[in-house]
Each structure stands twice: as C-alpha cells, then as structure tokens.
Amino acid sequence: MASTVHEGDLDLSHLTSPEGFKLPKHVGGCLDLSGLTSAEGLELPEHVGENLGLSGLTSADGLELPEHVGWSLDLSGLTSADGLELPEHVGENLGLSGLTSAGGLKLPEDVGGSVDLSGLTSSDGLELPEHVGRNLGLNGLTTADGLELPEHVDGNLYLRGLTTAEGLQLPEHVGWSLDLRGLTTAEGLKLPEHVGGDLTLSGLTTAEGLKLPEYVGGNLYLSGLTSAEGLKLPEHVGGWLGLSGLTTAEGLKLPLHVGGDVYLWSLDEYEYDQEVHGPRELGGKVQFSAPRSNRN
C-alpha cells in the first residue's frame, strides 16, 4: 500500500499475518485487524481516527500502538498486559476484557467512553483512570480489596461479581447504572447519593444496613428481599421498582414517585393498600401474583 494516508475505513480482518503488508501512517476511519494472532512484524499507523480492532491478539509482544486512537481500541483477546503500552488518549472505548491480571497494566489517564476489564479476578496493581466518560466493567472481581475506583463514572459501573462490600468505596457520582447484584448483604455498603440509571441489588436477602440513594433515575431491583423490615426506599425511582420477592407487605412504604411498574409478584392484591403503602405518583401499575379479578 503506497499511500501514507487512508481517509476511510480499512477492513483487513481476513489478514492472519502482517508479513509483506504495509499500512498507511494515517487511517481516518476504522482499522480492523481482528484476524491477527501475533503482532510480530506489525507496523501500525501513527494515527487511527476511529476504531482499531486487534481482538485476535493474545500477547502484546512486539505490539507498538498508535499515538492516537480517536474512538475505540479493542484488545479483548489479550490475557496478559506484559509489554503493553497503551496510547495516552483513547477517545471512546478501551476493550481489555481478556485480562485476568492487572500486572504491568498502565491505563490512559482519561478514557472518554468505556473501559472493559471484566476478566480481572483481582484488583492487585490496578490503577484506573481518574475519569471514565461512560462505562466501567469490573464484573470478574469478587472482592474490592485494593480497588480504587474513579470519583466519577459518567455511565454504567458493573461490579456484579462482588459478593461482599468490604473495602468498597464507590464513586460519588454514577451517571447511569450501578450493578451490584452479587452482594448478599449490605454490610459495609455505602452507595452514592445519586444514581442516574438502574440500581441492581437483587442478591440482597435482607435490608439490614442498607441505605439507598434518595434518587434512582432508572429501575431499582431488590427482588431478593423477602421482607420490608428496615427498608427505606428512595423518594424517587424513575423506572420500575422490583420487589418481587416480598412475601408480606408489613412495613412496606413505597417511594413518593415511581415512574414505571412496581413488581410485588409474591404478594396478592388483598395485602396491598394504596393509602398505606403508596406511591403517590405511579407512572405504571402495581403487579401482583394473583390480582383480585382473577380470584373466585
């Protein structure tokens, strides 16, 4: 390839070896090299304007990445960060879901979009960016020992593998959704005051020690609770409210505002009193296991 500039996309996913192939110094669009399993002999452009796909690489040996990747960098096939030197700036998404260890990993200071590290089983050696503009995926972690999260995650924060909140310090602000479905107890859990999207705590079996945000902009999933004892719900839930595991309405006080449906599938309508249980404003309906109309 003689030209030093290619303005559009380059789909080279069929290549299994870079031998004898010369890439331009500048690719204005996307560059797909997902068929490569080794970076040996690979000379990448200095600049990729949009996405760079290298998901087939299992090792960073010999890999020299561009100084600038405008949108997304997919390195999801890497199992080790040894020898990996990432660009200082990735405009959108950084896919490293294949890494099982953070040893040797140095992330950019700022990622405008998402960081997928869902394969990590330990946070040892992990230094996250100060700011993540969209999603942060850490679903493989079962413990928060040594985990230092950014102060702000503007999108979704996925921590569904955590089984305990011990040592967990969550960001002050989660712009979209927070997934903590693996927790079975709220002991040591301090949630942000504001969650802009969904809050998933469906693994909790008791509300003991649970302090929920005053505002949840999306859906609130608490389907593992069998009792409302000690449960203080947010004043505002913008979407659905999932309480399908409750077997009694005793002590239940729903939020002032629920934007969608309320799921009380383990109760029947006889146990629910709108005046006692709320909410005042309901955008959907309250759903029971056995509505009055279906009873003889």
**What token pair was written down for 13?**
């996913």
Q: pLDDT tens across 133-174, in order?
A: 899 999 999 999 999 998 888 999 999 999 999 999 999 889
* Direct distance between the N- and C-terminal alpha carbons of the chain, in angstroms, rounded to an integer: 78
| Domain residue limits, the chain | 178-296
pLDDT of 164-180, one tens digit each? 999 999 998 899 999 99
What pLDDT digit, counting tens, does each position of 58-91 carry? Answer: 999 999 999 889 999 999 999 999 999 998 878 8
Burial class (CB in 10 A: 0-12, 13-18, 19+), 190: exposed
Task: Give the residue, 276 or 182, on which the prediction is more confident.
Answer: 182
Q: What DSSP state is assigned to residue 45?
A: -
Buried b (16+ CB within 10 A) or exposed e, 240-261: bbbbbbbeebeebebbebbbbb
**Contact of 252 with 233, CB cutoff 8 Å:** no
Q: What is the pLDDT of residue 145?
A: 92
Give the chain's length.
296
